[in-house]
Every structure is written in C-alpha cells, then in structure tokens.
Amino acid sequence: MNRIAISMRGINKRFGKKIIANKDVDLDIYHGEILSLLGENGSGKTTLMNMLSGVYYPDSGEILVDGQPVTITSPKDAYDLGIGMIHQHFKLIDIFTALENILIGLPKDNTEKKCRQEVGDICQRYGFDMDLDKKVYDMTVSEKETLEIVKTLYRGAKILILDEPTAVLTPQEITRLFTILRNMRDDGKAIVIITHKLNEVMEISDRITVLRKGENIGTVMKTETDEQKLTEMMVGEKITLDIARDFVENKAKRLEVKHLTVENSDGKKVVDDVTFDLYSGEILGIAGISGSGQKELLEAIMGLQKCEPGSSVVYNSTAHGVHELVGLSTRQIIQYGLHLAFVPEDRLGMGLVGNMGMTDNVMLKRYRKGKGPFLHRRQPEATAMKIKDELEVVTPALDYPVRRLSGGNVQKILVGREINNKPTVLMTAYAVRGLDINTSYAIYNLLNEQKKKGVAVIYVGEDLDVLLALCDRIMVLCSGRMNGMLDGRTAEKEEVGYLMTHLKEEA
C-alpha cells in the first residue's frame, strides 16, 4: 500500500441551519494513487475538497496531512501543505498572461526567470505544452486547464484535487489530460478527481469513494466494481441507465433553416451559414464545445437574435400554415407554437424570474390571453399545480420564489412550462445541466414523450454519451459553422469529438 497523504476524520459542514453539506465524512487519500470522488450534484464532493483547499472551514472534524493534524484556514495554508485544487470555474485572470497568473501571490524570490525555467522543467516532465506569454482570454479551455495544473505544480503541490476537470473538454483533450494525470501519479503525487461521469471514473481511477447527500457511502477499488454498482451507490437505488429511443413514422418537415448567419456586436460571425431541416417526431441533437454558436442559433430561430441578410427559417405546420420566421417578432413566433427552454449557466438568467413563484412564472407566457387590465390567476394556478404534480416539483407553495428552489426543480418548472404550451417545436439547451441522475432521466423521458406526440425537438447537450443515446440525428457545430450531420444511431463518440474541434475545410 502507498503512503497516506491526507486523512479526513469525522468532517461536518453546514451552510445556514438547514443545508447539511457534509456529515461525518472519513476519507483517506494516498500518494501515487488516483482517487475518484463520485457523487451526484449537491452530494457534497466539492464542499469536502474545498475544506482541504482552504476555501471552507469544517464545523467539526480533523484533517491530517502526512500523519500530522493540521488547520487549514486559507488557500495559502493549503499551498503551504502541498495541497493544490483546480476548481471547476478556473481561478485565472483573463487579462493577465500565463506567467503573471502563475506569479500572483507568490513571494518575491520567485523571479520571472526562475519561474520560466521551472515551468519549462515541469512541462517537460509531465508532457505539458504551454506558452507563458499568452493572455488567458486567448486560450482554449484545455489550455486554461493546463495552466491551472502547471500553476499548482509550480507552487509545489504534492496533492492535486481536480473538480470536474473533464466537464468542458473534448474526448481527445480528455485522453491527453488522463495521460498527464497518470504521469503525475507515477511520479508519486496524490490525485483526487471530483466527477459524476462513470465511464471516466472507470477509466482513470485506482480507488473510488462515493458520496451521497453529504455522507461517505463507501470506498471501492476500481477492479472490484462496475458502472451499475457505482450508480446504485450514488443514487441509493437500482435504476436502469438506458434511454429509450423510439422510431416515429410519418415525419413531416417542420423547420427549414437555410444559410442562417448571426453576427455578434464585434461583427464576428457566431452562427455562420447554417443550413438544416427539422422534422416532427425526432430529436435533433446539437453538439459542440461551449460557445460554438448553440445559444445564438436557437435564439435566432426564436427571433431573439438579429439574422444577417440571406438567412431564412421556413416554418411549416398543419395548424399554423407556412411562414418565414426571420423578421417576425418573438411573440409571433411563440404564437406559432415554437418554444425555447434554455437553461443558462446561472439557471435563472433566462426563462424564469427568480423572485416570482411558480404561478407567476407560468403566467409570464400567457398573461396576454387574459381580457381586461386585471390578471386572471386561476388558470395559471391550475397549470402550475399540474406541472408540480406531473413532474414532482418539490416546492413549499406555488407562490414560493423559484430562486430558492434547487436547480433540478427550477429546470423542471422551466421545461414543464414550455411543454405545457403544447409546442410544435421544442428547443432545449442544457436541460439537464447540474441535475442528478433521476431528474435527468425524467427530463429525457419528457422529451421522448414529446417526440412521440409528433413534436420536433432540438436538444443542445454537453454530455456526448447522452446525445448519442437520445437523439435521432446529431448536428455538430464548430466555431458557429455546421461541421457535420450524423445519424444518432450509428455515430461514434470519437467522430463527434473530432468534428467538434476540427473545422472541415471548404471544398
């Protein structure tokens, strides 16, 4: 057995009075080993690790580093103990160069020259590739991740904690990262990966600790477990991991998108000449690294973005007839039965009003149907009740501010409202972002039901495994361009990943 690096004993952490983030957690981390910390969102993985990195301080419990009891009250304490954490949202300063980012907060004897030399050594040793004079805002996500790791290693970290390191990387980048992590492990470093992706856990880790609702459910060796067992530990019950994908007959063309182009305020084309058709009774997946134009594409169809001349979106439905959507107002487009459920990173940025309750949020999309100057609350209230019951939304009351609900409930309300409007076209973006497995599957089922009813569904997603399991067709966007249209039943993950990052040359 390897030497023990960190022991956590009986760690408790609460936020406020009600939220228990960690309860009596014991955890051991060894040198020369990769430990995966597995758990659903909100299971307390990040909080637990933040107590090692000095962001939080435990309410009670003991932390031992190399056998010695320690107190970690600030990130600086953590660095001094050789603990470095790479947070999910990178802690980098955009307008600084890589070198400046490494140097901030360090004692003055770390001169630029010394830093350049040592970083060069680190890069060579573990196989990194980095330009120290590049500004962070010019970097890709993968380069930023590299910078974070190098920064942590330069500070002498012997214990590395990575919070969801693969969340925004392409399959190729993930492979490269894993190679580096293995190099570091073989060099004797202790590595902890926080994740909820089972396939990656099985690929990279030596040992796996599962957290559920803030408690340590158990630790297993990778060789002695499989994905199904881990899921049961994570969720606490048996669930099937298959997503149903039915084939719907008699498809009709709903949307005909031609040469759709959107420019941002800098004059850069964020959606560049995209052409595709959307049919009823199908789920069209849109894959792409974040910021490849997914958001703008959906918004352009909804009339929320100004399209450049030459763009055309022809809408065809039996109920509403044939219409050119470009140039119409969003209100008009909604009346034709197109609905967009977009889940932004902060969840409440678009779609719902945080300080309003369920009823008022339902009303946002239908208050115009009322007559006279006064609001009619009865019907929206009934709708809100229906959404609450059907989707099992947990809320103390219908008028309870949705801001205070958990992310999963907020997303259920958002998607539920859009479905309730009986759409002919339903567009969702990141509908399962941050949701636990059960709720995610509930959302997939909802989308499948809509598809069976003949609704044309667009699903913008981040998880390639889900895209490949759920969608009938997958469109890949790269830098705003359509870089491929694949059949969801036959496409390979590597192929999608390649198309996401390598723009095809124009023939």
Partner 1 sequence: MSTAQIISWFVAAITFGTVIMYGCIGETINQKAGGLNLGVPGIMQIGGIAALASAFIYESSAAAPSPAAGMIITLLAALAASALGGLLYAFLTVTLKVNQNVTGLTLTIFGTGIANFFGGNMMKLSGGVGTISVAATSGAFRTKLPVLSGISGYGSIIFSHGWMVYLAVIMAFAASYFLTRTRTGLNLRSVGENPATADAAGINVTRYKYLAAVIGCAICGLGGLFYVMDYIQGTWANDSAIEALGWLAVALVIFTSWKPRNAIWGAYLFGLCYWAYVYIPIGISRYLAMKLKLENVTYMQNLYKMLPYLVTIVVLCVVSRRRKRENQAPSSLGQSYFREER
The 3-class secondary structure across 238-266, one letter per residue, is CCCCCCCCCCCCCCCEEEEEEEEEEECCC
Tokens at 138, concatenated: 């010019």
Rank residues 85 and 460 by Cβ distance to partner 1 and give the closer one. Answer: 85
End-to-end CA distance of the chain: 57
Distance CA 44, CA 94 (A): 29
**How far apart are CB 120 and partner 1 at their closest, in Å?**
21
Contact residues for partner 1, defined by CB under 8 A: 15, 53, 55-56, 74-76, 79, 85, 87, 91-96, 100, 103-106, 108, 135, 137, 266
Rank residues 89 and 331 by Cβ distance to partner 1 and give the closer one. Answer: 89
Rank residues 93 and 382 by Cβ distance to partner 1 and give the closer one. Answer: 93
Tokens at 345, concatenated: 């990173």
**How far apart are CB 408 and partner 1 at their closest, in Å?**
16
Rank residues 118 and 206 by Cβ distance to partner 1 and give the closer one. Answer: 118
Phi, psi dihedral angles at 146 (to 5 degrees): -60, -45
Burial call 304-319: b when 16+ CB within 10 Å, e when fewer: ebebbeebebbbebee
Rank residues 90 and 444 by Cβ distance to partner 1 and give the closer one. Answer: 90
Other CB atoms within 10 A of residue 392 CB = 13
**How far apart are CB 217 and partner 1 at their closest, in Å?**
22
Distance CA 70, CA 202 (A): 32
Rank residues 103 and 437 by Cβ distance to partner 1 and give the closer one. Answer: 103
**How far apart are CB 406 and partner 1 at their closest, in Å?**
12
DSSP state of 343: -
Rank residues 20 and 103 by Cβ distance to partner 1 and give the closer one. Answer: 103
Measuring CA to CA, which residue among 219, 216, 213 is closest to residue 61?
A: 216
Beta strand segments in 139-239, E: 159-163, 190-195, 207-212, 215-221
Residues facing 34 on adjacent strands: 191
**How far apart are CB 83 and partner 1 at their closest, in Å?**
12
Rank residues 59 and 206 by Cβ distance to partner 1 and give the closer one. Answer: 59
Phi, psi dihedral angles at 326 (to 5 degrees): -65, 125
CA dihedral 459, 464, 468, 473 (to 10 degrees): 50
**How far apart are CB 86 and partner 1 at their closest, in Å?**
10
